């Protein structure tokens, strides 16, 4: 006798959005916050800065395989649905995290230890190529039009919650154990914590129903519009990715080495800034219900480009903990407003030209070329030139590069009859209206 079972309902979009990138950003965050210790454990040299450079080189190398992951998981998402691709990427993100926690160190395994570390990070980089962009696409595609900005901001909040958790764990590690104990064995604990996180996220991911793509499969081989969409999206992503990795992955280590703040002060200020960053993302996403996201995006880029150098100049030349916290909170607000509307803007750019594959490539190409390499670039240039304010110029540059894309989005919002954006075949507002008429896939939020 055959027992008929009802099809499993997809989980609420809010649950998917919040947990979308918790595991990915926790892993990358905890490695960044412990980069100084990881360098000493796996790349022992005569100086802490050289060990730090070697440790951040592992981060940069892991980003090199992200574009390959974006292609594989993007094709999988367009062919079988984003849910299927997200299930595989979750497993490939989680297992290496736990395995890093049990790796032998350089003292016990010699050069086999860093080679194993690099191999595990490459696997994670491959999986990360589909993790964040496919989560964003899944949520944006299934959300009501009026809720798309808010729910897309929750996807970004899921990532910031992951790195916030990593920052808090690093702070607890510093306050609970001595530096000798951390170098000897306690550094393993944050990576082993990735196991319970994986079980929580996987339980939600396995409940996702893999609907067929609503507009059919993609056409293999991009046309000119698809390529322009990827490039435009990559410029938007670079503005946020470079700022995020410089200020909340690289800077906590630089604050200890060059600015001579205590480890607890650096991690505490970073945790407070990430809390503010998360709040600003939520506020920006909520504001997109009443203010066009295009205007929020453009204003955030202009304000950040103008304010980042004065803030960083103050940070470098005034050694006070209150100044450190104030500057980081200010930058957290600026980048949080940008992050709250970035994903809905990226979806608007790619929804009709590239879909899952296009969005994944736009995100991961930018992350691989600029985001993952940002800590290494800042460490190298500041060491060679002794120009402590170089990171501010680096951040401002990418905000300026993204301004033309944001302006074109604003132009398309002002008039449906205006000339189409450089990456698309029709104005984005018109595209959104056509999707509304067609009836997007709704999900309970």
Identify whether 5 is part of a domain.
no
318 inside domain: yes
Position 312 confidence tier, pLDDT thresholds 50, 70, 90: very high
Cβ proximity of 37 and 183 under 8 Å:
yes
Q: pLDDT: is 82 or 108 the higher one? A: 108
377 within a domain of the structure (yes/no): yes
Which tens digits make up the pLDDT trace of 259-269? 888 888 888 89
∠ CA 331-334-336, nearest 5°, is 100
Q: Is residue 7 part of a domain?
A: no
For 157-172, what is each residue's pLDDT tens digit? 877 788 778 888 888 8
What does the pLDDT read at residue 413?
Answer: 60
Domain annotation covers residue 443: no
What's 259's domain CATH number? 1.20.1250.20
Instruction: State how many domains the chain has.
Output: 1
Is 423 among the domain residues? yes
* 386 in any annotated domain: yes
Enter the DSSP assignment of 7. Answer: P
Predicted TM-score of the model (pTM) = 0.72
Cα separation, 21 vs 12, whole angstroms: 16
User: How do residues 25-41 score in pLDDT, each as one tens digit?
Assistant: 788 778 877 888 888 88
In a 10 Å sphere around its CB, with 0-12 CB exposed, 13-18 middle and 19+ buried, how is residue 412 labelled?
Answer: buried
**Which tokens hold the place of 183?**
């170098």
Q: d(Cα 179, Cα 221) in Å, to the nearest integer? A: 52
Which residues constitute the domain of residue 294?
Answer: 13-438
Q: What is the pLDDT of residues 343-378, one digit of tens each?
A: 889 888 877 666 778 888 888 888 778 887 888 899
The mean pLDDT of 110-139, rounded to a whole number, is: 85
pLDDT at 429 over 50: no
């Amino acid at each position: 006798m055959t027992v008929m079972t009802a099809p499993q309902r997809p989980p609420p979009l809010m649950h998917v959005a919040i947990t979308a990138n918790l595991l990915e950003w926790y892993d990358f965050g905890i490695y960044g916050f412990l980069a100084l210790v990881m360098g000493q454990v796996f790349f022992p040299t005569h100086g802490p800065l050289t060990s730090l450079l070697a440790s951040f080189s592992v981060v940069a190398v892991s980003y090199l395989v992200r574009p390959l992951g974006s292609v594989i998981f993007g094709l999988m998402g367009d062919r079988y649905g984003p849910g299927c691709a997200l299930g595989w990427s979750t497993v490939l993100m989680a297992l290496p995290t736990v395995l890093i926690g049990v790796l032998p160190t350089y003292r016990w395994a010699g050069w086999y230890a860093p080679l194993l570390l690099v191999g595990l990070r490459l696997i994670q980089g491959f999986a990360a190529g589909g993790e964040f962009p496919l989560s964003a696409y899944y949520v944006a595609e299934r959300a009501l039009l009026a809720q798309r900005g808010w729910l897309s901001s929750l996807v970004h909040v899921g990532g910031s919650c992951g790195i916030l958790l990593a920052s808090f764990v690093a702070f607890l590690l510093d306050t609970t154990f001595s530096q000798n104990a951390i170098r000897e064995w306690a550094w393993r604990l944050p990576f082993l914590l990735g196991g319970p996180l994986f079980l929580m996220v996987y339980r939600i991911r396995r409940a996702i129903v893999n609907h067929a793509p609503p507009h059919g499969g993609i056409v293999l081989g991009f046309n000119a519009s698809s390529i322009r969409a990827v490039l435009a999206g990559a410029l938007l992503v670079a503005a946020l990715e470079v700022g995020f990795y410089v200020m909340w992955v690289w800077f906590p280590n630089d604050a200890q080495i060059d600015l001579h703040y205590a480890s607890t002060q650096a991690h505490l200020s970073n945790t407070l800034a990430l809390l503010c960053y998360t709040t600003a993302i939520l506020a920006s996403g909520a504001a997109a219900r009443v203010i066009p996201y295009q205007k929020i995006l453009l204003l955030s880029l202009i304000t950040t480009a103008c304010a980042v150098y004065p803030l960083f100049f103050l940070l470098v030349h005034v050694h006070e903990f209150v100044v450190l916290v104030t500057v980081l909170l200010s930058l957290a607000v600026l980048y949080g407003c940008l992050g709250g509307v970035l994903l809905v803007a990226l979806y608007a750019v790619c929804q009709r030209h590239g879909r899952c594959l296009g969005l994944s490539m736009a995100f991961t190409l930018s992350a691989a070329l600029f985001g993952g390499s940002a800590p290494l670039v800042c460490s190298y240039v500041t060491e060679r030139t002794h120009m402590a304010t170089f990171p501010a110029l680096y951040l401002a540059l990418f905000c300026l590069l993204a301004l033309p894309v944001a302006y074109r989005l604003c132009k398309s919002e002002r008039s449906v009859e205006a000339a189409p954006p450089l990456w698309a075949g029709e104005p984005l507002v018109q595209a959104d209206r056509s999707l509304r008429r067609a009836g997007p896939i709704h999900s309970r939020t």
